[in-house]
Structure 1
Amino acid sequence: MKKSIYIMALGAFGIITTEFGVIGILPALVKEFNVSVDTAGWLLSGFALTVALAGPFTNMLTARMNRKTVMCLVLGIFVISNLLSAVAPNFTVLMIARILPAFLHPVFWAVSMTAASKQAGPKDAPKAIAIVMAGLSVATVLGVPLTTYMADLFSWRASFVLSAVINLLAFGALALLAPSMPVNEADASPKSQVKILGNLHLWVKLLTSTIMLAGMFATYGYLAEYLEKVSHMSGVQISIMLLVFGGTGIIGNWATGIALSKNIPVTSRLFLLALVVMHVLAYKFGGLFIPMVGILSVWGFVHTGGFLVANLHVINGIHGTALDFVNSLLPSFFNAGITLGTLLGGFVIAHYGIHQVIWMTVPLLLVALALSFVKQAQTQKVAEKTTAEVPEHEPEPDQVAVSE
């Protein structure tokens, strides 16, 4: 694999750490700025909502720019954003500093996926995409405990400084070591990409993945607060638990990838069922320290595979220029799910208390599970109407190698 692919993975780690890093420091921000938990939750949901709304437009605006230039621009903005967040004098400034880079977040995601695939060539494209996705996966499981630890060791401002340093390293490496990545005009043509929007099967898969992520983040977005208020853990204990959650998550992500390469529908449904079970157990034993340690370990193992499940569920079977366009849509729909989940979770917390947030997650996951069966029936109905750009068939092993 070319070194620039690993650099893009580092960039993905940086921007995802920036997005999710606030989860572990929400309690500190609530106290610092004297705001409610659901208001502080907008630092996550507002970021995600901006990504969801801006994604398709910012990708079209930058479609003809050199891919290396675009990614350097995105990482540079993320460095500035984190530094502004670190010195924010009030919640309003912090919110603005968080929202600004969110406009370019989906650009990096779509560009890095496509650029990695093209640099590696058709044979190694799945492996290249998997490497970049590893940056996202590791960030979702290690970014939160890292920023939480920095906040506990120094202050919440140090968490943003850490995120800035990570993005700066990726920016420097990309600028100095990555080759120029000019755009193929045919791939940049909107007309050649948007044909995929006529495929009803794609919309069913996007809806399923969006609701699944909403269910995941309705509780996970407030996990640090849950551990503090329900499990009565200290700041240090929360940091350790989040690290355990992330550590088992890395193993879980690998195991989920292997399972997905065998059977995507079955693995996706087992994932949803396992996550429902973990949330019910967290509700029942949330106030007991020792049981929660075990629950969090298994919860992290299951939870972290969610992005991989959602990603492969959507892009499976899509090829050509349509893949570029769908890659640009994924951040919008995934972050729409995160936004929906954190907003619904915040609503439950504000009206019924943090302990009850579990009962927002469980119904969402069950709806996603039900939709996975609807999708299977829908495939048969849509297959005859599908364009040649999107063949509806079970993938060959090399098509799902991304999960490994």
Structure 2
Amino acid sequence: MLLPILLLSAAGFTVLTTEFIIVGLLPSIARDLEVSVPQAGLLVSLFAFTVAALGPFLTAYFARFKRKPLFIAILLMFAFANTVAALAPNIWVMAFARLLPALGLPVFWALASETAVDIVGPDYAGRAIAKIGFGIVCATVFGIPVGTLISDAWGWRSAFGILAVVALAKALLLWIYLPATHVIKETVTLRSQFGLLRSPLMIGHIVLSVLVFSGMFTAYTYLADILERLAGFDGTLVGWCLMGFGAVGLIGNSLGGRMVDRHPLIASMVFCAFMIGGLVALIPSIHSTLGLAAAMGIWGVTQAAMFLVSHVRLMKVAPHAPAFAASLNIAGANLGIGLGAMVGGRVIDSYGLGSLGFAAAGFILISILLALLLMTVRSGPVCANAG
């Protein structure tokens, strides 16, 4: 039972690294392609908005396919897209290279999560997805910062080139070791799946994901720029800081996996409350080694936890269609990521880098208020009947 989950976790590492590696490379990409950092940040928005707009539809359609060839095909597409990114001569080709993997990410992440839950059962969904989510945490612990270090040493294009090779290697591993799977249970109809969107409770949970991820990525999208321009760090030190940020996320992933199985909304509020503290303290502590480490540590733990908590929270609301519910979370989260990147860029242009933490905290505060409101709504699962 464990090996398939670990294989999917390793593949998830590559998938999520492809989405987020650009965070550490934005300053270098902007300089090389001769655009501003906020303009380069729109590449984050493009990826995220594509996932948000098409993710649920693609997931609902591909849920009927056998998992093994589907996952392998997605990884091959990621390898091609990262190769294009490594060779991109301008921002437009780079945008195309970011568009392609955005089509595959929601399908992989939602169906891999459903597969993990099928293996262990719904009572241990949080722990199972925590194992899949370990690949996400590793993407922030190793993928993003190592990409930054590679960029500093050999250029940002080499980071995408290496990621393309890694994607090919993961596709080969899945082909050799992942057992062939069948669609075990009858596929829930498209009408029933999209009928979930008639539920105010489901809509509320999706909006909560949008708010949480808007807050996180208003600041996180530009963290490398903050560390370069405000803290005065060089590219190598920025890479190590990002690695530390991701490393503490291992703690958040573990805590989130345990807390979300007990009460998803309470877990959301607890982690969001601590996240506000980290975000608000970041800029005032920028020139204090201990203060900066503490602020980034709190932020890193809570951010990793909220990736997992948000995902499981939606799946528990609709246990009869967990993959589609997961895709709705992925869509909402990526809508938030795109909005956050755009809001962060506007904040930088209008108020400066120093205001990002406070703008981000505002989103997170609103998300806590929404979670409190959702706790007053009937907590049972959304009805499967779509009419």
TM-score bucket (shorter structure): over 0.9
Could you tell me which residue of structure 2 aligns to residue 8 of structure 1? 8
SS at match of 1:379: coil
Distance 1:116 1:260, change over 3 A: closer
- Percent of aligned pairs with the same amino acid: 31
Alpha-carbon RMSD across the aligned residues, in angstroms, is: 2.3
Residues 181 and 192 (structure 1 numbering): CA distance in 2 closer, same or farther, change over 3 Å? farther
Q: Which residue of 2 aligns with 1:379?
A: 378
Of the structure 1 ranges 122-131 and 205-214, higher mean CA displacement relative to structure 2 is found in 122-131
Structure 1 residue 318: Cα displacement:
3.0
Q: Which deviates further from its counterpart, 137-146 or 182-191? A: 182-191
The aligned counterpart of 1:337 is 336
1:318 aligns with 2:314: no
Find the counterpart in structure 2 of residue 400 from structure 1: none
| Unmatched 5+ stretches in structure 1 | 391-404
- SS of the residue corresponding to residue 283 of structure 2 reads helix
* Deviation string, structure 1 residues 17-57 (Cα, Å, up to 9, x no partner): 00000111111111111211111101211111111111122
Superposed counterparts of 1:99-114, under 5 Å: 99-114=99-114
User: Residue 311 of structure 2 contacts residue 330 of structure 2 at CA under 8 Å; is this kept in 1?
Assistant: no
For 1:318 and 1:234, locate their aligned partners in 2 and report how far apart those are by CA, in whole Å.
46
Aligned pair count reads 386
Per the alignment, residue 252 of structure 2 pairs with: 252
Letter in 2 for 1:358: G
Separation in 1 of the partners of 2:73 and 2:105? 11
Greater CA drift, 263-272 or 220-229: 263-272
Residues 64 and 188, structure 1, Cα contact 8 Å, conserved in 2:
no
Q: Which residue of 2 aligns with 1:394?
A: none
1:221–1:46 Cα change, 3 Å: same
Contact 2:140 2:242 in 1 (8 A): no
Residue 166 (structure 1) aligns with? 166
Helix, strand or coil at the partner of 2:93:
helix
Are 1:64 and 1:185, in contact at CA under 8 Å, matched by a contact in 2?
no
Distance (Å, rounded) in 2 between the aligned partners of 1:121 and 1:314: 16
Q: How much does 1:185 deviate?
A: 7.5
**SS where residue 350 of structure 2 aligns?**
helix
* Distance across 1 between alignment mates of 2:218 and 2:171: 32
Question: Per-residue CA shift, 1:73-129, capped at 9, x if unaligned?
Answer: 111000011111111122221111111121121111122122233345667765443
Q: Contact (CA 8 Å) 2:12, 2:136: kept in 1 or not?
A: yes
Measured against aligned partners, the alpha-carbon deviations of 1:257-310 in whole angstroms (never above 9, x if no partner) come to 333344433332121111111111112222444532332233222222110121
Structure 1 residue 311: deviation in Å? 1.6
Classify the secondary structure of the residue corresponding to 2:65. coil
1:266–1:324 CA distance, 2 compared to 1 (3 A): closer
- What TM-score, normalized by structure 2, do the two folds share? 0.92
Give the unaligned 5+ runs of structure 2. Answer: none
Write the distance in 2 (CA, Å) between the matches of 1:386 and 1:338: 26
Instruction: Give the match's secondary structure for 1:238.
Output: helix
Aligned to 1:299: 299
Amino acid at match of 2:383: T
| Cα deviation digits, residues 226-245 of structure 1 (max 9, x gap) | 11111111111111111111
| 2:232 alignment partner in structure 1 | 232
Residues 67 and 181 of structure 2 are in contact (CA less than 8 Å); yes or no, is this contact kept in structure 1?
A: yes
SS of match in other structure, 1:316: helix
5 Å-filtered alignment, 1:58-73, equals 58-73=58-73
